[in-house]
A and B are shown apart, each in its own frame.
Chain A
Amino acid sequence: MTAARPWRRYSGLSLLRAGFERQRGWPPAFIDATPQSSYDVVIVGGGGHGLATAYYLARHHGVRRICVLEKGWIGGGNTGRNTTVIRSNYFFPESAALYDLSLRLYEGLSAELNYNIMFSQRGVWMLGHSRHDEEILRRSANAMLLNGVDAEFYNDAETHRRIRGLHPNPSFPIRCGLLQPRGGVARHDAVAWAYARAASRLGVDIIQNCEVLGFEISDGRVRSVRTSRGDIRAPVVGLAAAGHSSNVAGLAGLSLPLTSYALQAFVSEPVKPVLDTVLITSATGVYLSQSDKGELVIGGGLDLFPSYAQRGSLPNMERSAAGVLELFPQFSRLRFLRQWAGICDVSHDSSPILSATEVEGLYVNCGWGTGGFKAIPAGGWLFSHLLATGRSEARARAFTLERFLTGAMIDEAGAAAIAH
């Protein structure tokens, strides 16, 4: 559609070369485009899922005229608000296939997109504190192995030996640990920027500060998208609006099986390296890792009432802090540096929705709830297939809206025994 966009490969050599021009010659990572009057595909939502969808559409499906509409700025929603954990330790085969596709794509993403997303496979631990926890973790470990996902199960002594600094005798004693060695963390902003840069290079128009106000639908088919920056005609529209999916779909007269909740995260003030892995403990509902900057990154459970306020509530903050101190009393003198919340679109079975809708040409990618970040590459991969062909790829077939009619749920909320 447009002429080749200015692009320069990121590498040690190009950095050195640019040094001779005082690092001034770099083109922008992506073009901040202005909307045209029509596209082949319009994607609503410039977070990780929307940008990844645009990239794979252009890269694998040869769609030429694509735009991504973002109300704010790219990666400013949940993509920039999560705790950056990537794992695929799910229970059901359908989920394992989905999230492991994502993990495998993450493993090659820095090289594919020529952008360092700082994916660090430092392992993700789930801790068990009771006989019942242990039974459920053993069941999870077996399910993971059966699904072809890596899993290692350790007893209490070995868990303590491998996770340095754990409270030797907490009031919820640690009985066992389930490790997924390939799990880890990545730089969340970089994932959005990397996909944006790669998509923009392939001619995708990334349009920020552009709010969707409505859809023109006639004869049951979507015709155009009404936005704050004018109408855009498109035969195919994909919604990837995360916590605001219900609102955007509502503009097209659709009702989705979703409820939006606030999920909080916190970082402490930065300290020297104290934790070299990721911990999840269902007993206290807390997960914890340390960022490269040295901050402890802490996540807890949802604030369990519907919310669109991206700030969260005090009781959950207290619970999360208490949960961390239960495992690491030595962190008691650390202070929270920042706190924020993202709005999570939680479906009834805590599994995502990648689906066509009653409106022809209008598709949804939503329902990732609290686990959308880890699924960005797979979400983009599978959603682009759906947008390009109108059919679900094999690994996405179980995740359509139809399951709410047939009752064929993929109930990861109960099965994986983890907070999403």
Chain B
Amino acid sequence: MLLIDCPVCGQRSEDEFRCAGQAHLVRPGPPDAVTDEAWSAYLYQRTNLKGVSAERWLHEFGCRRWFNILRDTLTHQILHVYPVTQARRPEETGGGE
């Protein structure tokens, strides 16, 4: 069970949250210049990492704020919580426990 440190509400149980998948996906553009391959990759291809992965989460039944977390998909350890506005994934050693 995950205990997620919401940047607004503090530590809450996982069933208040919703995971929206891989963070830092960049929508390709402009639309008429995007190839089928690039569009398909943006929509469907995921790194699906076994290990430390950057994800978008929503505190759905709480403050309803979006944020990113760095989480190990094998151990479920949450390494870092950071704002969605941060363009790049932080260093794994940089944050949290």
Contacts and interface: CB of A to CB of B under 8 A. Distances in A.
Contact of B46 (A247, A257, A313): A257
Interface in A244-287: 244, 246-247, 255-260
A257 B44 contact: yes
At the interface, is chain A mostly helix, strand, loop or mixed?
A: mixed
B37 A304 contact: no
A214 to B, nearest CB: 15
Contacts, number: 65
Contact of A259 (B21, B40, B43): B21
A315 interface: yes
Contacts of A247: 48, 50
A393 to B, nearest CB: 24
B92 interface: no
Contact of B14 (A246, A313, A404): A313
Interface string A18-50: 000000000000000000000000000000000
B73 A309 contact: yes
Interface in A283-318: 304-309, 313-315
B19 A304 contact: yes
A307 B18 CA distance: 14
Interface of A: 244, 246-247, 255-260, 304-309, 313-315, 348, 404-405
Given A314-B1, A348-B44, 12 more contacts: A244-B50, A247-B48, A247-B50, A255-B47, A256-B46, A256-B48, A258-B46, A304-B18, A305-B19, A306-B49, A306-B73, A404-B43
14 contacts: A246-B48, A255-B41, A255-B47, A258-B48, A260-B48, A260-B50, A305-B19, A306-B21, A306-B55, A307-B73, A313-B1, A315-B13, A348-B43, A404-B43
Interface of B: 1-2, 13-15, 18-19, 21, 36-37, 40-41, 43-50, 53, 55, 73-76
